């Protein structure tokens, strides 16, 4: 079977954006959600559309639907099973049958009564769908990783800023109390001068093997072309749609380093007050990647062989998944998804109060609350496009160093590798034409 022609995502999205502008939706903000001064009215609900309704989306919606000022009114998914599952959950929550479903998310973006979208597709679609949503005048909550290339992250951040949309990356640990407290300790000087940051990640993988071809279902059951989207063509296999895409280079992000790195490296960026920059050197080794910031702080990206099990000796296992550790000249702090915070001394431990711990790091209620509040205020969210851009690109740069197995240097402002054409070749990928 002949593979469809490929083009650049930049070319397609530019064309799509022009078409949207002609249609009059590029900067549309629904009238009903605006107050007299152009900001959302205090008593108005934010109408939410969902793009991609799998297991992760169910979890995010569990922390979003209970907010009184949001209402999910439409779900788009390429798989009929997911559409039906999503509608059942939303309708049960509201006690009606009003939630509409559609196969093609572009129909959802055309609706003028939708103010914001939650994008919870697989990684391959996050950037492209977010950009199209922003150009259609929607505010965007995108699950992470928000882009599977450096160029994805750049274009997404640029578009959100140009379109004046509110954006929240699904790196919800920026809104969870124990992680916030750990960062506050790093910022306060109570750890002394910050020296080393530790971010836990899976051990990276490179895999692009194809599963056996299966008979492709009818488009309305599973739209395989739309599922693939900008990713390279391959024959249909149901396992991909069920989640087997993870770890595949064509579908995943940075040799899977961003699966946790989008959270843990991001928290280290925050602790180092580095949201506007990133490490400038990335040195891979057997057990991880050592990264160096311009201010001399070192970031250790640690590979975990058993990330969901025994995380010792590098981390305290009982602290849970996605652990981070911040080390200064006067002490250290470590925390993870259990909500517990452990410090290096009794004096530091006294800084930890009950209200800053014991909230599970997987909770998304505060993060979605922050998103909804910023839709009204038009302020930057906790994990806005600029935060996402630098932390994601740092992860992609680390992954590139691991892939090439050599030290790489990057210009943190130009966001290009220094004197390394091979590494710069990973900044973007050719994308498939899917919308024909």
Helical spans, DSSP H, in 236-342: 238-239, 258-271
Q: pLDDT band for 362, please (50, 70, 90 cuts).
A: confident
My answer on whether 184 and 101 are in the same domain is no
Q: pLDDT band for 359, please (50, 70, 90 cuts).
A: low
With pLDDT > 90 as the criterion, what percentage of the chain qualifies? 86
My answer on whether 122 and 184 are in the same domain is no
Domain presence at residue 24: no
DSSP E strand stretches across 193-240: 194-202
Domain presence at residue 25: no
* End residue of a domain, out of 130, 152, 172: 172
Q: How much helix, strand and coil, in percent to the nearest 5, is found in the chain?
A: 40, 20, 45
Phi-psi sector, 255: left (phi>0), alpha (psi -120 to 50), beta: left
pLDDT at 272 over 70: yes
pLDDT at 157 over 60: yes
pLDDT at 194 over 60: yes
Q: What is the mean pLDDT of the chain?
A: 91
pLDDT at 168 over 50: yes
Q: How far apart are alpha carbons 393 and 282 in whole angstroms? A: 12
Domain presence at residue 104: yes
Is 137 in contact with 108 (CB distance < 8 Å)? Answer: no
DSSP E strand stretches across 276-400: 281-285, 288-292, 298-304, 324-328, 331-335, 341-343
* End residue of a domain, out of 172, 196, 225: 172
Dihedral sign for Cα atoms in the order 134, 139, 143, 145: positive
Spatial CB neighbours of 412, under 8 Å, sequence gap ≥ 6 = 277, 278, 279, 280, 294, 390
My answer on whether 158 and 186 are in the same domain is no
**Which pair of structure tokens corresponds to residue 292?**
């160096």
pLDDT at 175 over 60: yes
Q: Considering just the CA atoms, what is the radius of gyration of the chain in Å?
A: 21
359/89: higher pLDDT: 89
Domain presence at residue 77: yes
CATH classification of the domain holding 84: 3.40.50.720
- What mean pLDDT comes out for the span 389-406? 98
Is 47 in contact with 33 (CB distance < 8 Å)? Answer: yes
Domain presence at residue 222: no
My answer on whether 67 and 153 are in the same domain is yes
Domain presence at residue 403: yes
**Which pair of structure tokens corresponds to residue 288?**
């991880």
My answer on whether 182 and 294 are in the same domain is yes
Give the model confidence (pLDDT) of 325-343 as tens digits.
999 999 999 999 999 999 9
What's residue 314's pLDDT? 92
Domain presence at residue 324: yes
My answer on whether 49 and 166 are in the same domain is yes
Spatial CB neighbours of 28, under 8 Å, sequence gap ≥ 6 = 112, 136, 137
Please name the residue that has the structure tokens 């605006």: 34
What's residue 355's pLDDT? 76
My answer on whether 186 and 124 are in the same domain is no
Domain presence at residue 335: yes
In 10 A of CB 154, how many CB atoms? Answer: 19
pLDDT at 208 over 80: yes
**Which pair of structure tokens corresponds to residue 20?**
């949207």
Element (H, E) at 6: strand 6-7
Q: pLDDT band for 353, please (50, 70, 90 cuts).
A: confident
Omega prior to 145 cis, within 30 of 0: yes
**Which pair of structure tokens corresponds to residue 275?**
């949201």
Range of the domain at 330: 174-205+253-361+386-425
What's residue 36's pLDDT? 41
Q: Are strands 139-142 and 116-119 parallel, antiparallel or unpaired?
A: parallel
* End residue of a domain, out of 123, 149, 172: 172
What is the total count of domains within the chain? 2
My answer on whether 137 and 178 are in the same domain is no
Q: pLDDT band for 203, please (50, 70, 90 cuts).
A: very high
Count CA atoms within 13 Å of residue 317 on its CB side.
10
Q: pLDDT band for 38, please (50, 70, 90 cuts).
A: very low
- What mean pLDDT comes out for the span 243-257? 94
Q: pLDDT band for 24, please (50, 70, 90 cuts).
A: very low
What's residue 390's pLDDT? 98
Backbone φ and ψ of 388, nearest 5°: -60, -45
Count CA atoms within 13 Å of residue 405 on its CB side.
3
CATH classification of the domain holding 195: 3.30.360.10
My answer on whether 152 and 293 are in the same domain is no
pLDDT at 348 over 80: yes
String of DSSP letters for 319-341 = G-SS-EEEEETTEEEEE-TT--E
Please name the residue that has the structure tokens 């602290």: 319
What's residue 28's pLDDT? 34
Q: pLDDT band for 283, please (50, 70, 90 cuts).
A: very high
Q: pLDDT band for 269, please (50, 70, 90 cuts).
A: very high
Secondary structure tally for the chain: helices H, strands E: 14, 17
What's residue 6's pLDDT? 39
What's residue 55's pLDDT? 92
Q: pLDDT band for 363, please (50, 70, 90 cuts).
A: confident
Q: How far apart are alpha carbons 84 and 66 in whole angstroms? A: 20
The pairs formed by 284-287 with CB atoms below 8 angstroms and a separation of 24 or more are 284/398, 284/401, 284/402, 284/405, 284/406, 284/407
- What mean pLDDT comes out for the span 270-281? 98
Report in angstroms the alpha-carbon separations of 81 from 71, 105, 125, 415. 22, 15, 19, 41
My answer on whether 48 and 92 are in the same domain is yes
What's residue 29's pLDDT? 41
My answer on whether 165 and 298 are in the same domain is no
My answer on whether 72 and 191 are in the same domain is no
Q: How far apart are alpha carbons 35 and 49 in whole angstroms? A: 21
Q: pLDDT band for 105, please (50, 70, 90 cuts).
A: very high
């Amino acid at each position: 079977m002949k593979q469809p022609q490929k083009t650049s995502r930049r070319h397609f999205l530019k064309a799509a954006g022009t078409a949207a502008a002609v249609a009059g939706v590029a900067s549309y903000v629904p009238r009903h959600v605006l107050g007299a001064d152009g900001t959302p009215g205090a008593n108005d609900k934010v109408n939410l559309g969902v793009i991609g309704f799998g297991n992760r989306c169910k979890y995010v919606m569990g922390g979003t639907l209970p907010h009184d000022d949001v209402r999910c009114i439409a779900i788009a998914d390429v798989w009929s099973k997911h559409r039906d599952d999503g509608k059942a959950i939303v309708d049960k929550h509201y006690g009606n049958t009003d939630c509409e479903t559609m196969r093609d998310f572009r129909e959802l973006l055309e609706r003028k009564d939708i103010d914001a979208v939650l994008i919870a597709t697989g990684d391959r679609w996050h950037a492209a769908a977010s950009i199209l949503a922003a150009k259609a005048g929607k505010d965007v909550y995108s699950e992470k990783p928000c882009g599977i290339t450096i160029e994805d992250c750049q274009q997404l951040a640029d578009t959100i800023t140009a379109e004046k949309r509110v954006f929240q990356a699904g790196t919800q640990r920026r809104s969870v109390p124990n992680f916030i407290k750990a960062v506050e300790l790093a910022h306060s000087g109570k750890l002394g001068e910050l020296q080393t940051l530790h971010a836990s990640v899976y051990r990276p993988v490179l895999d692009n093997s194809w599963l056996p071809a299966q008979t492709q279902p009818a488009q309305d059951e599973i739209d395989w072309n739309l599922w693939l989207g900008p990713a390279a063509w391959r024959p249909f296999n149901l396992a991909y749609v069920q989640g087997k895409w993870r770890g595949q280079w064509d579908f995943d992000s940075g040799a899977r380093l961003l699966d946790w790195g989008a959270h843990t490296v991001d928290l280290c960026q925050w602790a180092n007050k580095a949201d506007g920059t990133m490490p400038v050197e990335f040195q891979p080794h057997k057990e991880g990647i050592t990264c160096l910031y311009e201010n001399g702080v070192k970031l250790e990206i640690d590979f975990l062989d058993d990330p969901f099990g025994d995380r010792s000796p590098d981390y305290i296992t009982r602290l849970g998944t996605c652990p981070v550790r911040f080390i200064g000249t006067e002490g250290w702090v470590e925390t993870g998804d259990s909500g517990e915070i452990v410090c290096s001394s009794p004096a530091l431990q006294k800084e930890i109060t009950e209200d800053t711990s014991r909230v599970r790091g997987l909770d998304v209620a505060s993060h979605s609350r922050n998103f909804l509040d910023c839709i009204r205020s038009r302020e930057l969210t906790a994990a806005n496009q600029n935060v996402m851009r630098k932390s994601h690109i740092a992860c992609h740069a680390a992954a590139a160093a691991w892939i090439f197995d050599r030290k790489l240097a990057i210009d943190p402002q130009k966001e290009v590798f220094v004197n390394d054409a091979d590494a710069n070749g990973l900044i973007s990928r050719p994308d498939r034409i899917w919308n024909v």
